[in-house]
Amino acid sequence: MKSTTYKAIMAIAFLLAFSFTIDAQINVKKLGSQIKRSAEQQVEQKVKEKAARETREALDRGEKKLDQGISNATSGEASSGNKAVSQEEIPKGSKTIYVSSNNGSNRNDGSQSSPLKDLQKAIDEAPEGALICLAEGNYLGYLDQGWVKVNKYVSIVGGYSNDFSQRDPIKFRTTMQPGPAQIMTSGNQGVMDIRVVGKRNGVVLVDGIIFDRGQINAYLAPIYDNPVAAAPEGCETGRILVVGESVASVPTMKPEGMKSAFQLISGEMEGNLTVRNCVFLNGYHFAIQMACKGGHFDIYNNVFVANRMAACEVRGGLAQPNTSSIAFHNNTVLFTWCRTKLMEDMGYGFRYMTGIDADVYNNIIGCSNYGGLDRAYVDADKSKEAKRVTSAWNNLFFGNRNGDMVLPSGGGGWTFVLAKNFEDVNQLHKYENNREMNEAEVNAISKKIDVPYLKGFIGITGSQTSSFNPNSSVNQFRSALGMNMQGTETIRVSMYGNRYPYEKTFELFGAVDGYGAQMIK
């Protein structure tokens, strides 16, 4: 696959500054020089001279950092980044309903000593403004169908111990983690589907829940010596399978999962939505994809890992400008994958959508398969576009394969922007203090990321072969009928959308002090 110069900038700078932290046996200097030669060969003539110059400068800076980086990695000198953040006050609620999938019963009254069993049952019985407390366990909705509908203004708070005497979302894990048993019952919506309108000041809170589709997605088996499997050595699975795709030469993971375009959180809402202290893992089709129909969404202190399409996409649902807004901050977003293994579109950490103002800050956004932030959507109504307020400030970036921000270009393609150039992006109201991670931050977060997964992402390669035989019997027959002749095309990649290990995800809370998701105390 071809790459643009901006791909070279991000992939090379990331490799040179990062790869030494994960395997002391890697010959980093040799790898760096090889990558440099490869990147220079792939620079397309149509790319502007400025971009080519920036690529060479990034290479030079990366090479100067190698010796110090190797020393830091081998000596283990890195900040632990364990600074915790206090839990925000849990709302009192018009009524408190307790739910325990392990100890409850749907014939109980929902009190602390007699909890319900099913989250959907609790939502259905809750009055507006209620607080629903979830004990540790897996919640799959009505009759374990694999999804939950939130259709009223309620607060849903997970992370409690079985007796509700303690709350620690990392220790007492409240999950929404459908598996193969939910393949035929998971519906046509997200694992949590939020659809509430009618109150501009209404509140929905989702706090301390782990959303994970890693057990229901379809993956190829991890056959490390078979390039079709696209399984870097040490990864749990081969690549993910998308809708309409089948591979005969490599078995799938058993029990076999499903190929379906369902989100982790979907829906549309009017009012104030807060999503915090959650994990969004292995999402097949977006982690969060919603519409805001007036009001404000606040999404913070979450970890997003190995989601396909985008970690967060919230569009405006009203015709009037400046009536909907979103703040996306203090989140850690890693390994967001493109739409297909062709890696031609999607694969963003956050998407700025039309009809909504967006403020993005204090995040860690890294290893995006396409770009860190997507600001390519433009409102067709120029007057509305002029009133949009979008910002990105104080964010840390690393390893985003095309760039830290993607903009539309006048030629019908994309413009890829590095964090250091955000001040030149006119679409950003606030733009200050965005940067690539420094060596200490790289060392800190690399110790928290699953090593085989990271190495696989760094070393992604691809190949494309075509075969066309005009004299084949099929093509001769098609030609006789006046039909176009056909050929075959084979595309292989070394990694795409592989499942990220569940247990490693929780180490990402507090990986870098002051940026991204912090520990919850």
Evaluated on CA atoms 474, 477, 483, 484, the torsion sign reads positive
Alpha-carbon distances, residue 186 vs 16, 117, 258, 304 (angstroms): 43, 19, 10, 22
- Residue scoring higher pLDDT (504 or 20): 504
- Mean pLDDT confidence for 312-325: 96
Helix, strand and coil content of the chain, in percent to the nearest 5, comes to 20, 30, 50
Instruction: Grade residue 463 by pLDDT with cuts at 50, 70 and 90.
Output: low
- Mean pLDDT confidence for 438-448: 93
- The residue ranges of every structural domain in the chain are 111-213+261-435
Above 70 in pLDDT, residue 415? yes
Name every residue whose Cβ is closer than 8 Å to that of residue 42 and which is 6 or more positions away in sequence. 2, 3, 8
Q: 297 is written with which tokens?
A: 């969404």
Instruction: Grade residue 485 by pLDDT with cuts at 50, 70 and 90.
Output: low
Q: Which of 2-11, 183-192, 421-430, 475-484 has the lowest mean pLDDT?
A: 2-11
Alpha-carbon distances, residue 120 vs 92, 125, 205, 227, 400 (angstroms): 20, 9, 15, 43, 38
Q: Is 27 helix (H, G, I), strand (E, B) or coil?
A: coil
Q: 180 is written with which tokens?
A: 């193969």
Residue whose C-alpha is closest to residue 362's, from 517, 206, 520, 205:
517
Judge contact between 282 and 303, C-beta under 8 A: no
Burial (CB < 10 A; 0-12, 13-18, 19+), residue 125, is middle
Q: Which of 24-38, 114-128, 428-442 has the lowest mean pLDDT?
A: 24-38
| pLDDT tens, residue by residue, 213-233 | 999 999 999 999 899 999 999
Q: To the nearest whole number, what is the mean pLDDT of the chain?
A: 84
pTM: 0.82
CA distance linking residue 178 with residue 27, whole number of Å? 41
Q: Which of 138-147, 198-207, 283-292, 476-485 has the lowest mean pLDDT?
A: 476-485
Q: 36 φ, ψ to 5°?
A: -60, -45
Instruction: Grade residue 484 by pLDDT with cuts at 50, 70 and 90.
Output: confident
| pLDDT score recorded for residue 340 | 86
Judge contact between 35 and 66, C-beta under 8 A: no
